Amino acid sequence: MSSPGGSSPEGFNAIDFDGARVYAIPMRVRFRGIAVREGMLIEGPAGWGEFCPFADYDDAESAPWLATAIEQCTIGWPPSVRDRIPINCIVPAVDPKRAHEITARSGCRTAKVKVADHPESLAEDLARVEAVRDALGPAGAIRVDANGRWDVDTALTHIHRLDKAASGLEYVEQPCRTIDELATVRRQVDVRVAADESIRRAEDPLRVAVAGAADVAVIKCSPLGGVRRSLQVAEAAGLPCVVSSALETSVGLAAQLALAGALPDLDFACGLGTLSLLDGDLVAGSGSLRPVDGYFPVPCRPPAPDPALLDRYEMADPQRASWWRDRLRRVRAEQQRFR
Torsion over CA of 221, 253, 108 and 233, rounded to 10 degrees?
-10
Question: H-type helices in 49-95, by residue range?
Answer: 59-74
Cα separation, 258 vs 255, whole angstroms: 5
Cα separation, 295 vs 68, whole angstroms: 23
Q: Where are the beta strands (DSSP E) in 191-285?
A: 193-195, 216-219, 241-243
Helix axes 179-188, 152-165, angle to 10 degrees: 50
Exposed, middle or buried, 27 (CB in 10 Å: 0-12/13-18/19+)? middle
The answer to whether the CB of 275 falls within 8 A of the CB of 254 is no
| Long-range own/partner contacts, residues 290-295 (CB < 8 A, 24 or more apart) | 291/87, 291/106, 291/107, 291/108, 292/107, 293/107, 294/86, 294/87, 294/89, 294/106, 294/107, 294/108, 294/109, 294/110, 294/269, 295/84, 295/85, 295/86, 295/87
Residues designated catalytic: 114, 220
Q: What is the bridge-based pairing of β-strands 47-51 and 295-297?
A: unpaired
Cα separation, 177 vs 197, whole angstroms: 8
